[in-house]
Structure 1
Amino acid sequence: MTPTDPTTEVVARPRVEGDREQEIHEATLTVLADVGYDRLTMDAVAAGARASKATLYRRWNSKAALVIDSLCSMKEPHAMPDTGTLRGDLVSMFCGMGGLTDARQIAILASVITAIGRDQDFAEAFREQFIGPKAAMNHQVFVRARERGEIRDDVDLDLIVPALPGLLLHRQFLMGEAIDASAVERVIDQIILPAVAVAGRPHDTSSTSSPETKEDR
C-alpha cells in the first residue's frame, strides 16, 4: 500500500470528538448568534475555534451540517422537568437558560429563520433534528398532565401543545416584544391553563419562578 492510498489518508486523519468537538460547536453557535446563518462561514468558525477549515470538513461536509449538529449539541438544564404540575413544568421549560427567555437562544433562533425559508434541506434537517425533539418533549409534558388529571380528555393536544411557544415567538419576532418570565407566565395562566382546565377543578397558578423572577415583579 502506497503512502498516497486514499484509505491510508482516511485512517491517518485525527477524529474531531470530545472536548474539541464541543469547542467547535460553541464557536459555531457564537458566530451564528453574532452574524446569522447567511453570513456564517467555515473560515469564521475555524478562526473562533482556533482550528483549520480542513479540520471542520473532516467532521462536517457542509455549513448546514455543522450548524444543525451544533444546534443539537446545546445542553438544556431543564430538558425534562417534573415539578408535579403542568404550570411548573411549562415555566421550567420556557424560562431560564435554554428557554425562550434566554437571549442567546432567541438570537440563535432568529439567525436561522432566513435559512429555513431559503434552504429546503436545511429546513427539513432543522425541523427533524432540532425542533422535533423539543416538540416531543413539550407534548410529553402535556400527556403527563393529562394522566395527573390536570387536562380534560377532550383537549386536542396537537392544537394546544405548540400554542405557548407559538404565541411567545410571535411576540418576539413579529411584534418586537422581548420575552421575559412575566410574559411566559401570563400566557400560561391566562391562555394555556384555562384552555385545558378540567371543569370544577381550579388550575394551579401558584408561582414556581426563580428568586430572580420574583424580584422582577
Structure 2
Amino acid sequence: MSRADRGGEAESTRSRGGRPLDSSRDPVFREAALALLAEVGYDRLTMEAVAVRAGAAKTTIYRRWPGKAELVVDALNSLKGDPDIADTGSLRHDLRALAESITSAEGELGARVTIGMVNALVRDTELRKVFADRFIAPRMTGFRTVFERAVARGEMPVGHDLDLLAGLFPALALQELVSTGELPDTRLACRLMDEVVYCLATAPPPAPDTTE
C-alpha cells in the first residue's frame, strides 16, 4: 500500500466531528471520483455525482473529504502512488528507476485523468493549492533527493537550481500529453531522463549573472 493510500485511510478513520469512520469503502469513493474526472473533467465533477456513482450518501463523502479538490487529489495520489526513490549509487540509474516507477502507474486512465485536471488547474485556485501541496510537493522532494545525493557523490556540480531540475521531467511529460494525448511510456520516460534531465544535471551550472 502506498503512503498516499495510508494517508487517505488515516484521515478517513474519523469524521470532522471526531467519530470513527469505516474506511473500507474509501477506495470505492476514490475510484468513482477518478472515473468521473476522466469522463466529464474536473469542472463538471460534483460531490453529488461521486456519491451517486459510489452508491453512497453525499454526507458520507463530505465526512471524509471537505471538498472535491481534496477528494480528487487524494484519489490521484492513490492511482499514481509514491515514486520509488531508488539509491543505486548512480544518478543515471536513479533517474531511470524514477522513470520506471512513475510510468508503471500510468496508462489510459492516467492520461484521461490528467487531461481532466489540466484546464481546471489553470482556473481553480483552491485545486491548484491542494494539488501543489499534496501531489506535486512530495514528488518534487523525491527528485531533489536524487539530485542532492548526486551532488554529495560528486556526480553533479554544485550550483544548479535543484527545484528547476526537479520540475523538468513533469513539464516534459505534460508537453507529451498535450502533443499526443498520451503520457510518456517507460521507454520515452527513460530517454527523457537520459537525454535531457541527466545531461542538464551533470553539465556545468551557468555562471552567475553579474550584469546587475
- What range is the shorter-chain TM-score in? 0.7 to 0.9
1:80 shift after superposition = 2.4
1:138 pairs with one of 137, 143, 149: 143
- TM-score normalised by length of structure 2: 0.74
CA separation of 1:14/1:89 partners in 2, compared to 1, >3 Å: closer, same or farther?
same
Output the CA distance in 2 between the equivalents of 1:130 and 1:193. 23
Contact 1:152/1:198 (<8 A) preserved: yes
CA separation of 1:17/1:88 partners in 2, compared to 1, >3 Å: closer, same or farther?
farther
* 1:188 aligns to 2:183 (yes or no): no
158-167 or 100-109: which moved more?
Answer: 100-109
Partner of 1:31: 36
Partner of 1:156: 161
Unaligned runs of 5+ in 1: 1-9, 200-217
1:96 shift after superposition = 5.1
CA separation of 1:112/1:178 partners in 2, compared to 1, >3 Å: closer, same or farther?
closer
Q: 2:63 is paired with a residue of what secondary structure?
A: helix
Cα-Cα RMSD: 3.0
Q: Percent identity?
A: 35
39-48 or 99-108: which moved more?
Answer: 99-108
Contact 1:23/1:49 (<8 A) preserved: yes
Contact 1:68/1:125 (<8 A) preserved: yes
Alpha-carbon deviations, 1:100-147, whole Å to 9, x = none?
854333322221112212211221111111111111111111111222
1:84 shift after superposition = 2.8
Q: Give the number of equivalent residue pairs.
A: 190
* 1:128 aligns to 2:141 (yes or no): no
CA separation of 1:88/1:173 partners in 2, compared to 1, >3 Å: closer, same or farther?
same
Unaligned runs of 5+ in 2: 1-14, 205-212
Partner of 2:48: 43
Partner of 1:66: 71
1:168 pairs with one of 156, 165, 173: 173
1:15 shift after superposition = 4.5
Alpha-carbon deviations, 1:147-197, whole Å to 9, x = none?
222211233323222122212221221465652222222222222222233
Rg bigger for which structure? 1
Contact 2:174/2:183 (<8 A) preserved: no
